[in-house]
Homo-oligomer: A and B are copies of this chain.
Amino acid sequence: MAQWVFAFGNGSAQGKAEMRALLGGKGANLAEMSNLGLPVPPGFTVTTEVCTYFYAHGGRYPANLKAAVDTAMDRIGELMGARFGDPKQPLLVSVRSGARASMPGMMDTVLNLGLNAETAEGLAALTGDARFAYDSYRRFVQMYANVVLGLEHGLFEEILETEKETKGIELDTELDADDLKRIASLFKRQVEKDTGDPFPENVHDQLWGAIGAVFGSWQSARAKTYRRLHNIPEEWGTAVNVQAMVFGNRGNGSATGVAFTRDPSTGEKILYGEFLINAQGEDVVAGIRTPQTVSKIVRERQKSRHPSMEEALPQAYAELKGICDRLEAHYRDMQDVEFTVQDGRLFMLQTRSGKRTAEAALKIAVDMVQEGLIDRNTAISRIDPGALDQLLHPTLDADAPKELIATGLAASPGAATGEVVFTADEAERLASDGRAVILVRAETSPEDIHGMHAAKGILTARGGMTSHAAVVARGMGRPCVSGAGSVKIDVAAGSMACGPVTIRRGEKITIDGATGQVFKGAVEMRQPELTGDFGTLMSWADSIRRLKVRTNADTPTDAATARRFGAEGIGLCRTEHMFFNAERIIAVRQMILADNEGERRAALAKLLPMQRGDFVEIFRTMEGLPVTIRLLDPPLHEFLPQNEDEIADVARAAGGTPAKLRARAIALHESNPMLGHRGCRLGITYPEIYEMQARAIFEAALEVEKSGNTPVQLEIMIPLVGFRSELEFLKTRIEAVAASIEKERGRRPAYLIGTMIELPRAALRAADIAQTAEFFSFGTNDLTQTALGLSRDDAGTFLTEYLSKHLIGKDPFVSIDREGVGELVQIAAERGRSARPGLKLGICGEHGGDPDSIRFCHQAGLDYVSCSPFRVPVARLAAAQAALSATAPETD
């Protein structure tokens, strides 16, 4: 027969920490602390299985539960020298919920349960403190009415206010025992009025009412929503914890507080907490009195006048410090504890792993390894790779004064200060003079790339998390706030209005891409630190991970940044970004406007030395590492000008007429460019484009080799392949270029030719394609778009609704859709390697920098992930965690 109730306290317990599933987090830790011999007020836990039983049986309890609870209550009474409901020696308890995972929406806490008119009087007599007894009583009635019976808190506050007004006083503390006794009665009358039933005087009714309320709250709307959002199974259920009350409000020898075993902001090893003398837990939260610091060193640093606990209650402090050290040693993690001191005697009410900042997490993990508390693997597992991102960018000084003028989406992390400019050209011009600028645009387009690169940060009025600005900024590691709808830009006037504030061109603003906030003027910043604990942890991660980490980099600058962050190669070098440069775009447009292959080749000949130059620099930077270069991918119309002024300019520069330019733009217009004439389809209809690119790559490789640098490992990547025949066609042509280079110069560089796998058909036909492709790189952005039939640019309008209606758990462009896109990746990996054993597999979509997706890539057996330079450390850590959890069961 199941054991429904587990007792704890008095130096032993029937449960332990490992029984979290049965006892909930709080119950398991209370049991564990009891087993450690720590001073835990005695109590018991009603198991989660009772909750399951309760729901399976229409709200009934197991037959023998009542007897077990009675026995457990008796045991508490014996240990406390009291009896539940006994007016002479009344036993008071707290009742709390405690699910397996911490869960908002669940019933919180009822304190002082066991008080009624008789026991309140008894408590007054026993303690000789009638005011304490009746204050406890009225608090209990109010809390029970609110938490268990569901009445509005405000009703009771009103009664309290009325009473204070009648008496002509302002503070609760001015109420005496009689006042409080009368108020308790008024509270009870209010309950009867609102519920139709008298307030329960029988303490057992009170207890079962509270237990029922905890179980009932498991199915509250808020709890259900939270579970669905966090994939918590309904059948887990919640436990109920009943525990003897101890009182921090029994005079100046009593106190209550919370503490972290280390500083949760910095990770420093000091006892960091707050406490209040002569108070109950809720007073700390209520903020009526300013809490004091727990340890002296913190008081001194904060220059506080109020004595620390170390000074005010040195004995209890010493005991607490000892217990905290034991708990850390026992749990091998920083703890967040709650305690109460009753008449000088310390009681522990809760312990759990403490939440901490990324910085603290890093320091604590590294320190604990050095202290011998945990091993390196554990240290690595403890850091949230996503949070790491904030350590890699400058952050705003939290204490610095700031004037918030607008808020948008936190599109790309990091903070930046600079002069406001409204055009990409201006950004570039000012930046070349060494001035820091923030590029402000309604929205950005590929033609703004040079300005985005030149700017310290980007602010847009329109566009979501996956807008052009956001995606490109993340790729470049530029801070970005996108979609700040309240910002009205007047480019002609050279100003922007942010509500009442107007900022003119050249005035400074500061943006925080981690919060989406925009501030007037410059704000103090803290610079990231990539050495020290960070470097230590990264080196541990590198020794564990199997996945290689490469970067998506289109420029020598990006490549250098990524190498500093530890990138082991370039997984995606997009050649089209090189085409947007102001001096080159003319030749690109001449190529597009060409009437025949001859004219096209002439225009391409102008581009050749420029592309070659780009590659030379990148190859030098990468010093012998692998570099995957993707040949031209976007549809040609992306290179054409958009408005009439531009068209006239371009016609002049590129040597055509505006009419011809317009006609070409119309001819190139597509209904669905994402599915149109792009990728290898361009290479097939205009082979001369890819031939020029191949030549630029090969010549650059030879030039780098000739000048004594280590030759990079060249990987030429063909985008958007759906049929092996496409790849065959293009591979033959690239090989012909290599052959003619060898003929001209006597040698050719070593290279591989591979393909993106970014169409469902390509994934399915991987065995066939792998007979031609020498490597695969999964373009999971486009694979997500095609497999889900979902345009990334257009999904914003309904995807948020999908998320809010819980139709999908996560944005599939952020975290890979394992069930759909993931299966395609697995199919392709398996089939590709069946045809070509050892086929090199990587991923170069945005998912390459997402920890969940990286875990998936590890599981799918890929060789590397490639992500934007600033995500490289995140990916290194996530890859190490994936390797560590490879044998652990999947939890999300």
Residues of A at the B interface (CB closer than 8 Å) are 670-677, 681, 684-685, 720, 722-723, 725-726, 729, 758-761, 764-765, 768, 782, 785-791, 793-795, 797-798, 801-802, 805-808, 817, 819-821, 823-824
Contact = CB atoms under 8 A, between A and B. Distances in A.
Contact of A798 (B684, B760, B802): B684
Given A671-B674, A677-B798, A785-B675, A725 B808 contact: yes
Given A673-B791, A675-B675, 7 more contacts: A674-B675, A675-B791, A684-B801, A685-B797, A723-B808, A729-B805, A761-B817
Which of A671, A794, A801 has its CB near the most chain B CB atoms (within 10 A)?
A794
For the complex of A and B, the 7 pairs showing the least CB-CB separation, nearest first, are: A761-B820, A675-B791, A672-B791, A676-B794, A760-B760, A671-B793, A759-B789
Given A789-B720, A807-B725, A794 B684 contact: no
Given A675-B785, A797-B677, A821 B761 contact: yes
Contact of A672 (B672, B788, B797): B672
A538 B407 CA distance: 69
Contact of A786 (B685, B725, B789): B789
Given A675-B791, A794-B673, A819 B759 contact: no
A764 B672 contact: no
Given A671-B794, A675-B794, A684 B807 contact: yes
A421 B768 CA distance: 52
Contacts of A805: 684, 729
Nearest to A682: B798
A661 B674 CA distance: 27
Nearest to A802: B684
A789 B787 CA distance: 9
A509 to B, nearest CB: 28
Contact of A760 (B675, B722, B725, B820): B820
A760 B794 contact: no
Which of A674, A765, A787 has its CB near the most chain B CB atoms (within 10 A)?
A787
A685 B798 contact: yes
Which of A670, A726, A729 has its CB near the most chain B CB atoms (within 10 A)?
A670
Contact of A820 (B674, B677, B722): B722
Given A684-B807, A794-B673, A761 B788 contact: yes
B722 A824 contact: no
A247 B670 CA distance: 63
A787 to B, nearest CB: 4
A576 to B, nearest CB: 17
A789 B824 contact: no
A764 B764 CA distance: 11
A405 B534 CA distance: 78
Nearest to A790: B675
21 contacts: A670-B791, A670-B793, A671-B793, A671-B794, A673-B791, A674-B675, A674-B791, A675-B785, A676-B794, A676-B795, A684-B798, A684-B802, A685-B801, A722-B789, A723-B807, A723-B808, A725-B806, A725-B807, A759-B788, A760-B820, A761-B819
Nearest to A793: B671
Contacts of A790: 675, 722
B765 A820 contact: yes
A681 B96 CA distance: 43
A758 B782 CA distance: 17
Contacts of A808: 723, 725
Contacts of A684: 798, 801-802, 805, 807
B674 A722 contact: no
Contacts of A793: 670-672
Contacts of A671: 673-674, 791, 793-794
A342 B793 CA distance: 78
Contacts of A819: 761, 764-765, 768
Contact of A807 (B726, B806, B824): B726
Which of A760, A787, A790, A791 has its CB near the most chain B CB atoms (within 10 A)?
A760
B794 A677 contact: yes
A545 to B, nearest CB: 29
A786 B821 CA distance: 13
A684 B807 CA distance: 10
B807 A729 contact: yes
A789 B782 contact: yes
A724 B768 CA distance: 31
Contacts of A720: 789
Contacts of A817: 761
Nearest to A797: B677
B789 A758 contact: yes
Given A761-B817, A807-B684, A821-B761, A788 B674 contact: no
A801 B805 CA distance: 45
Contacts of A786: 760, 786-787, 789
A788 B685 CA distance: 18
A823 B764 contact: yes
A802 B671 CA distance: 20
A807 B685 CA distance: 12
A716 B765 CA distance: 34
Nearest to A822: B764
